[in-house]
Structure 1
């Protein structure tokens, strides 16, 4: 008697493209559902690409999103059901804090994400970003390239002033300086010259560092001075100021005891170079300047519109037809041992008047997972110092089922348990800090010769984590010098990855700093998984309606 074979269960998976994928935290959360197939991912950073390739069975990994041909992707893979990604978006007010940029070039990448959605027309899209994206801080400048689209969508414009030159330095030279607007490029320094002189300028409050930098770069300063003096005799005010700076550099290198006059010339010339950089950006991005204001400083008057208004207006328009929901989600509410606020946008192709919401929190604040939950089991495992060291073999342990450690410790081999070798000064600081304390809690003598202005350091610098609370937002903790709750050492790459809810089987590639950065940039997989389940719910409902 023939026994009929049981019919095989075929699991239909939804096709996904992940843009700005990084190491792959968002992809991992979607893959963990078993219902999504990442057909294509795009990531430009070479170290993150290595990590992504190692950990994801993706069909194709691209680099430059600006060059992606989405029609070709549809031709080769068929319709893409879901587009996910977190395009960098700095916002021009944050860019301006860097003093030498008027525009964050990263903002262009938001438009590349929007282009992907417009050309692929997925059933659902998910965009992840910093929580400040919902504010009016993140804006695009109104330019010739997007004027037609912005006007047709009726997006609100507001007047903005971009500071080109600070009021504190302005004098009767203001009108003379701005008269060179159309030929400003020829007065720009080369990058190496700017970087060195800008470092010296920023060390004006720290004479010891200033002197050391000048001594270490004396030959370079002599060469810079010589180059500037080639402009001697020219009438342009910027050339004259460069010559005056060259004379002060030469004088300082001879006497090496008076920085005041050199700093005065440096301040003016460095700010002129920052002005030149901003003007180049305005021109290169076709941003129309309506007028200049030279009464108190030098300002360029332009128009701007909110990034979020652009995303919502463009993608919810009749042409694209998405119903869009957005809100800030805290990763801690979804199981991360970390208070990480992320702005999430979900767009669903309209089909009737179906309403939907973003994922709802599953963990309340009084039940948040803690740093101890994430890394407590690693306390007795000594980290290594080099990424080239062999991974560590760790003993088996028994954990409560479904606990965080039970979920994350999915390998007997511990990769990336790597830290930076700590110098004596940092070790003394580590020893002086208790849980929850940071750089500002140190005695004044322990803060010297570290930062140009110690009073302006963030509260996350030299932060010793509290074991029995969730951590703050994990960024590049190597730069922040985060400290283990009970041991006088830095937090390892693996411990940072645990705080981000990456399982131990997920291995990071690249240099030490690159690995720390990848961890800090990632979407916590546990948050990504909650978003993926919501997307799956929306897709299932849409399919049922068809």
Structure 2
């Protein structure tokens, strides 16, 4: 593959690329924009674009369960789409051939995804150019390969628009602005590029989740890149505001602002906007889970083979949307409303106050242990201090983690606030999101995690419980993706017919 700036590719980039013009003509004819989702996971970005009328024609995902979920939701009749694919072993041409996409240069209009970027922060612009010229150069730093393969796909497909999602730290990873490095590469390919930091809670997601969003559009479109205006208001807690400042540290150091022209500050939410969707609004209509308190849950795999019917009508506009999302409607109930087996801590969960974290949980557990000792003393059966029996009793009540090392490991959600950021670690434990309802005394279920990410109830997750939690924690919130997709759709509309009013398919 020749690098940008040489040969035929240079002539195409420096002038108006005929393949790009052909795709613009296709959209002018009324055809829906086609999306390729790389590192797609189960499909959070895909779902947001689907909601705005885009056609999700293909995805590449390595994890088998996540790939199966994406296929089941977007191409349920075609098993080819549910197969896992390794982007390091799959060329763009092979993907187009496998899924009947047609010639690569005409196959898609939008490429989206969240590639791993940590290693690229150490590769830098010169290495990226070297890799474009020498396909085997990635071996000099194999960790960078996934990110660089993403950019290879952009270079091969030359979509009309690119959307890249990642953690805010890409703006300051080891003192390097990865988003800015990406911008310079994409501009050499013929794109206008901007990036910003968006918080999902500002777009109707019941979760405070900060993300870097990069948008690139072909210069042939001749449109200004815009980021979605907030639809909801919340004063972010200090931790979220602080993390944003850390991510922006490079850009806040005077002259560095001049070297990061791609950064565009996000619009601040107006106080007149509706308040952010709360955890109670997101989860309050789902069936209660209390069987664990009666010994009805055992250790073992949790599968999604039992329908749990809704106990009543939706209690919020958000719950109504989750049941009525177009193409993913669900009027019956949910099958993935299952929780972890955590017998040591069920009683403790119920005694925590909303907002309590691990230090408070540990202190409460010590109180519960002392209460248990007093009860045994009354019965004349108290174990000798620090004996094997004493230690066994303490271990059955008090979690073993160091209070100083794990302050954020646990958190009981506040019902009147959006949830804190869901992580992929949900696949290992769910202590970061303890249900706010003390009467249920548990961590959140798979479906509740999906609700907090804004996946509608008709969206299915393949695999067992751990795999589903991991998929949800890794995903882009669909409502945030929908907001970004709306701006891409509006940009296309401005390019095709400047006087055509902006429209959207899905009403919140």
TM-score range, shorter chain: 0.5 to 0.7
Cα distance change of structure 1 residues 337 and 45 upon mapping to structure 2, 3 Å threshold? same
More strand by share: 1
Match of 1:371 among 254, 264, 279: 279
In structure 2, how many angstroms separate the alpha carbons of the residues matched to 1:125 and 1:405?
A: 31
CA contact (8 A) 1:91 1:138 kept: no
Cα distance change of structure 1 residues 68 and 469 upon mapping to structure 2, 3 Å threshold? same
C-alpha distance after superposition, 1:410-449 (max 9, x if no partner): 331312111111222x224323311110111134574977
In structure 1, how many angstroms separate the alpha carbons of the residues matched to 2:346 and 2:337?
A: 19
CA contact (8 A) 2:115 2:150 kept: yes
- Corresponding position: 1:405 with 2:405: no
* 1:56 counterpart residue number: 74
In structure 2, how many angstroms separate the alpha carbons of the residues matched to 1:88 and 1:458?
A: 27
CA contact (8 A) 1:15 1:36 kept: yes
* 2:108 counterpart residue number: 80
- Corresponding position: 1:429 with 2:348: yes
What are the residue-to-residue correspondences of 1:31-430 with 2, within 5 Å?
31-33=50-52, 35-57=53-75, 61=81, 63-72=85-94, 73=96, 75-76=102-103, 78-90=106-118, 107-137=144-174, 306-317=177-188, 320-351=189-220, 354-365=223-234, 367-381=275-289, 386-388=301-303, 390-395=305-310, 397-399=312-314, 403-409=317-323, 410-424=330-344, 426-430=345-349
In structure 2, how many angstroms separate the alpha carbons of the residues matched to 1:395 and 1:442?
A: 32
Q: Secondary structure at the match of 1:309?
A: helix
In structure 2, how many angstroms separate the alpha carbons of the residues matched to 1:56 and 1:422?
A: 34
CA contact (8 A) 2:462 2:468 kept: yes
| Number of aligned residue pairs | 357
* 2:44 counterpart residue number: 25
Q: TM-score, normalised by structure 2?
A: 0.64
In structure 1, how many angstroms separate the alpha carbons of the residues matched to 2:286 and 2:221?
A: 52
Cα distance change of structure 1 residues 544 and 514 upon mapping to structure 2, 3 Å threshold? same
How far did residue 403 of structure 1 move? 0.4
CA contact (8 A) 2:337 2:445 kept: yes
What are the residue-to-residue correspondences of 1:531-546 with 2, within 5 Å?
531-544=484-497
In structure 1, how many angstroms separate the alpha carbons of the residues matched to 2:110 and 2:412?
A: 40
In structure 2, how many angstroms separate the alpha carbons of the residues matched to 1:352 and 1:484?
A: 47
Q: Which moved more, 1:375-384 or 1:467-476?
A: 375-384
* 1:199 counterpart residue number: none
In structure 1, how many angstroms separate the alpha carbons of the residues matched to 2:222 and 2:161?
A: 15
CA contact (8 A) 2:435 2:442 kept: yes
Structure exhibiting the larger radius of gyration computed from Cα positions: 1
- Corresponding position: 1:479 with 2:399: no
Q: Which moved more, 1:496-505 or 1:450-459?
A: 450-459
How far did residue 55 of structure 1 move? 1.1
CA contact (8 A) 2:223 2:495 kept: no
Cα distance change of structure 1 residues 105 and 502 upon mapping to structure 2, 3 Å threshold? farther
State the Cα RMSD in Å: 2.9
Cα distance change of structure 1 residues 333 and 91 upon mapping to structure 2, 3 Å threshold? farther
CA contact (8 A) 1:337 1:499 kept: yes
- Corresponding position: 1:507 with 2:452: no
CA contact (8 A) 1:332 1:340 kept: yes
